Amino acid sequence: MSADLHDVVLVGAGFTGLASGYVLAKKGYKVLLLDADTAAGGLAGTFTFSDGVRLERFYHHWFNNDVFVPELVEELGLKGDVVTLPTNTGMYFNGRLWKLSTPLDLLKFTALPLIDRIRLGLIVLQVRRIKDWHSIEHLSIREWLESLAGKRVYDVVWKPLVESKFSIYADAVNAVWMWKKLVLRGSTRNDKGGEELAYFKGGFGRLADAMVEAIRSHGGEVRFSTRATGVVTEGDKITHLTTTSGDVAGKQFLFTPAFPIIADILQQATTPDWIDRLRRVRYLANMCLVLRLKHSLSSTYWLNVNDPGFPFVGVIEHTNFDAPENYAGTHIAFLSRYLAKEDPVWGYDDEQYCQFALEHLKRMFPSLDRSWVVDYKVWRADYAQPITERNYSQYVPGRETPFRNASISTMAQIYPEDRGTNYAIREGRDVARHISDLLESERG
């Protein structure tokens, strides 16, 4: 047997690929994990400012009821590094900020009549009664929420957020996406009704790095700056993955990037019908501005922007969650915009986008001045948000591929959950068990 033959070749060092690689390496398999980026983490990857301050490219947290993250962290010997922190959320509507962290805050939300505030508060109870999400998969978010809370509540609270989040696809996304969000958020409250979220000390990049080291410590190999470009096949099996650093041989292969990237890698080796199924799932891109500021914008961590005309789904002031002391005393804010790549804003250079963002941000915070900006960075993701359209479960591809020894596991398949590192870890562990079973059956 060739010394260069790997038991498993994994493409993508996001948390699905990392979790799979870790489980398989720990079982003693010869694992090779490849990623086109310079470091691990995928959409949860990090970067470092010139003074050494490190944080996520795109804002991240966990919910305090997530289970797969703390399980993995404990297994890695980092127990206690997941910290649960109280947080606060709010809404910018009609020219002012509204706090919306507790039931009492909701009652004070006079932008809605009292009866609509009550209807809004009862939504969490209503969504918990839904046990079979298939029953609402044929409905859009708007159709479903209007039936629960009425048109006025939808127009004030949900419509601006859905349109900011999903852009040109706002009325195509099915109700399951919002149902899962509401169920999850409703179960993260403490005994006083406040919300608690979780974060990893030192940031998500530190956890991704720890997973890379764990893979290597169990004999696995991780290579960065290595892009998969195609495959070599023999019958209905892949024999080699073609990369920018040469071909690599494997017994089993796992692909974890977005469907369009997988389609590009495999399109020359299989039938157009299956490739078309991958390309059927549509995505939105994301542009995320990371601001380092001398002063805080507000006391709110997660500020939903519900005023029409603002180009951002929210203003996330990270240092109202994780203290400024961890970022050299500066205040960190993320401004995220989901958009189709045809949107003219996608073509802005970094300075154009920063100026564009600051002009809108100043409408919300009039005292904001460009002199507040210590530094900034703009990050772009081509495939940031899968679009889960009506009856998504009927057309989204499964784990199987046309090749007997290749599987796929991506964030678009976490459905009915929506992305998230916690579920990426869950899926990574599950597909690793599947691959391990296939390898054992070959040995048998």
Q: What pLDDT was estimated at residue 99?
A: 80
Dump pLDDT digits (tens) for 205-233: 899 999 999 999 999 999 999 999 999 99
Check residues 254 and 96 and name the one with the higher pLDDT. Answer: 254
Dump pLDDT digits (tens) for 103-145: 788 888 888 999 999 988 888 788 888 999 999 999 999 999 9
Over range 260-277, report the average pLDDT.
Answer: 96
Give the alpha-carbon dihedral of 345, 347, 353, 355, to 10 degrees. -90
Domains of the chain: 5-79+201-281+393-443 (3.50.50.60), 102-194 (no CATH), 283-386 (3.90.660.20)
Dump pLDDT digits (tens) for 306-347: 887 788 888 999 999 889 999 999 999 999 999 999 999 999
Dump pLDDT digits (tens) for 54-69: 999 998 888 877 889 8
Band the pLDDT of 444: cuts 50, 70, 90.
low
First-to-last CA distance in the chain? 17
The pTM is what?
Answer: 0.92
Q: How much is the mean pLDDT over the chain? A: 92
| CA distances in angstroms from 205 to 40, 82, 181, 212, listed in the order given | 7, 13, 25, 10
Contacts of 113 (CB under 8 A, 6+ apart): 152
Round to whole Å and give the CA distance between 412 and 278: 10
Round to whole Å and give the CA distance between 418 and 408: 17
Give the rounded percent of residues in the chain with a pLDDT score beyond 70: 97
Band the pLDDT of 186: cuts 50, 70, 90.
low
Amino acid making up residue 309: G
Q: What pLDDT was estimated at residue 185?
A: 64
Over range 79-92, report the average pLDDT.
Answer: 81
Residue 263 clears pLDDT 50, i.e. is over it: yes
Q: What pLDDT was estimated at residue 1?
A: 37
State the pairing for strand pair 314-317/302-305: antiparallel
Round to whole Å and give the CA distance between 85 and 27: 35
The distance from CA 346 to its chain's CA centroid, rounded to whole angstroms, is 19
Round to whole Å and give the CA distance between 399 and 434: 10
Strand-by-strand arrangement of the 302-305 sheet:
96-99, 89-93, 302-305, 314-317, 331-339, 283-293, 373-386
